[in-house]
Chains A and B, each alone.
Chain A
């Protein structure tokens, strides 16, 4: 089996999930200049809600086809997360829109703690496993394996990202979002309802997070109240890598980070002569984050931000 191709495939799959979550960070940052620390937890809630629904249907007398059950889970998780994202913005961030910058960031951390611990109280500390509803057909390409699920994750996230791109570039809402990102004041003067645009941004981001949450739990076969933290940090790193505030950047950054991580984990043992092993996988995202911020804070696709001093 070709390790390189295999890790590349694994990386792309993970990367498309990161990209979906990164989009949520980048859109909010683009408009509010706020690191929505709680976004990773919204993803976790998406996975947990979907699993609860899936578990309930799978455990009931209904004998539905597996994929339909999963679909039902996703369809409940999406509105749940949208409601959650909408509420978070309204309750926790909106009152602080004019406060010094540290205040909303600290609030965001608080929200994320609340979500994580609520999830722990509701679903417990143990891992929740994803029922075996999805067929695990595997195909062989170039000496590596790829499963139906992996193909599906890549295709679906590509589709979603294309749709989002169209939405932002073509629709009225997209135009309003871009105008608000440029300047809230000017956009408001031009008749854009800034509050609504911000709410819409949170709604879209949360919907993407819900889908990503289900994908990640289906991919690993489990979910956990703590999963959102790491996932969120990695997605944020991906957004920074691509250039925060830049939608195409989040997509590129997500895919790249996934690949870097997978290849890194695959080869770190060889590179360090066995000193460090694949359990250092989680470190890569942080190194990427720190390196990007130090050497090119604007990210790969971001423009150099001119000084406003």
Chain B
């Protein structure tokens, strides 16, 4: 599904990513872990087009997506959420999700002004799908609430609904359970499993090792901008490099 080949990213003199390669297979939940500053979010931003890469390639289902504009990557079916929730705070929850449909709808200025039958059908469809997505993440009764007024956990879920609205094949989640209590974490976990059962491939950046280990099919570990391990959670857990770099210091 997603292939990263030898990607490096330098900011000025600092090398944030060095020759990172990994492969996310269709239908799996893939975890990307590593200590703070290991380059997880940088890699994420490279994948989703917010940063260009300094060298290397990123392929989505065989097609080049590195150094592409973000909207092109979304169009190809790769959606994301943000670590520090970036909703359109002053739009309603429903409108947030409707914005997510932008890339799958077509109405332009003429359609907006004339509101012809096609546009009306599209808008109705858009509204229906957006409401369905809100129902799916459990925010069905908050459609009219402003995104900025939602509770923290609800905002996380709204971000996922918004990303789902772009009809992705691959959904990348940047620390989706950060700051949540155990009950909320469990809810999210169930949500991820439901998403996978619907055929979606998930890429998960997490700090919470327990969640990743219990949920992911395969895991890659980044440290100082390099991939130091990749494999099933149990393999990775026993990798000495990982224990030294991360588990040994942090979560033991």
Q: Which residues of A contact B (CB under 8 A)?
A: 304, 306-307, 309
Contact = CB atoms under 8 A, between A and B. Distances in A.
A306 B12 contact: yes
Contacts of A306: 11-12
Interface residues of B, number: 5
A305 to B, nearest CB: 11
7 contacts: A304-B12, A306-B11, A306-B12, A307-B50, A307-B51, A309-B45, A309-B50
Interface of B: 11-12, 45, 50-51
A309 B51 CA distance: 9
Nearest to B11: A306
A306 B9 CA distance: 13
Contacts of B12: 304, 306
B73 to A, nearest CB: 15
Contacts of A304: 12
A83 B245 CA distance: 59
Main secondary structure of the interface of B (DSSP, over half): loop
A307 B46 CA distance: 13
B109 to A, nearest CB: 25
B18 to A, nearest CB: 18
Contacts of B50: 307, 309
A44 B50 CA distance: 44
User: Which 5 interchain pairs have the tightest Cβ spacing?
Assistant: A309-B50, A306-B11, A306-B12, A309-B45, A307-B51
A304 B12 CA distance: 9
Contacts of B11: 306
B47 to A, nearest CB: 14
Nearest to B45: A309
A158 B50 CA distance: 44
Contacts of A307: 50-51
Contacts of A309: 45, 50
Contacts of B45: 309
B215 to A, nearest CB: 28
A165 B203 CA distance: 52
Nearest to A303: B12
Contacts of B51: 307
A264 to B, nearest CB: 35
A46 to B, nearest CB: 41
Nearest to B50: A309
Nearest to A309: B50
B245 to A, nearest CB: 26
A30 B33 CA distance: 38
B45 to A, nearest CB: 7
Nearest to B82: A309
A304 B51 CA distance: 15
A309 B45 CA distance: 9
A19 to B, nearest CB: 29
A279 B11 CA distance: 45
A307 B16 CA distance: 14
A309 B86 CA distance: 11
A306 B52 CA distance: 12
A121 B222 CA distance: 67
A253 B12 CA distance: 25
